[in-house]
Amino acid sequence: MKKVLLIAAAMFLALAATVGLAPTASAYPELTCNLTVEPQVLNEGETFTATATAAEVESSARAAAEGDDIAWEMTFNGETRTGTGAVFVQKFKAPNVDDTTKLTLTAKSTSTAGTCPHQVTITVLPDGTTVSPPDDGGLPNTGGPRLLILLAGLGLLAAGVVAVRKSRSNNA
């Protein structure tokens, strides 16, 4: 009985030492961020909206709710904008390009919890490269088959049906 009590006491002391000496999760605050862009493919001269959000995990409730200690730096096509807050929204204009060009939008949030960088690739198309819908609002004529080709296809289908029927009647 004494051995069981001694083992139980040793296990209790080991558990207390493990829990008591383990670092707390709040000692390591973490900064998480996200960057969304709408639209990511656009024609030259069009504008797009970049929305960056950040949150501090395991920080003070007031700072996490306000986001007042989160600083932002957003860069696109050589233009840098800065601001503060948990949400940072900016509009950028796509530059004029001669060929389809991929440009990088970078956003970096910084706070006492650390730094969180994000990048999104924006595709800029030269003017006139996208297909516009027809003026009358209907669907465009995409060149469906001509009547002669349609009749030939129906004839081949009928010949296939006859061939299958004959082969099945011969096997029976």
| pLDDT tens sequence across 75-109 | 999 999 999 999 999 999 999 998 899 999 999 99
Q: What is the largest CA-CA distance in the chain?
A: 101
What whole-number distance in Å separates Cα of residue 96 and Cα of residue 124? 8
CA–CA distances in Å: residue 82 to residues 67, 73, 116, 117: 15, 5, 15, 14
CA–CA distances in Å: residue 72 to residues 67, 78, 81, 105, 117: 11, 16, 8, 13, 10
**Residue 148 banded pLDDT, cuts 50, 70, 90:** confident
CA–CA distances in Å: residue 90 to residues 79, 84, 116: 12, 12, 18
Has this prediction a pTM greater than 0.85? Answer: no
Relative to beta strand 71-76, strand 101-111 is antiparallel
What whole-number distance in Å separates Cα of residue 103 and Cα of residue 96? 12
What whole-number distance in Å separates Cα of residue 107 and Cα of residue 138? 42
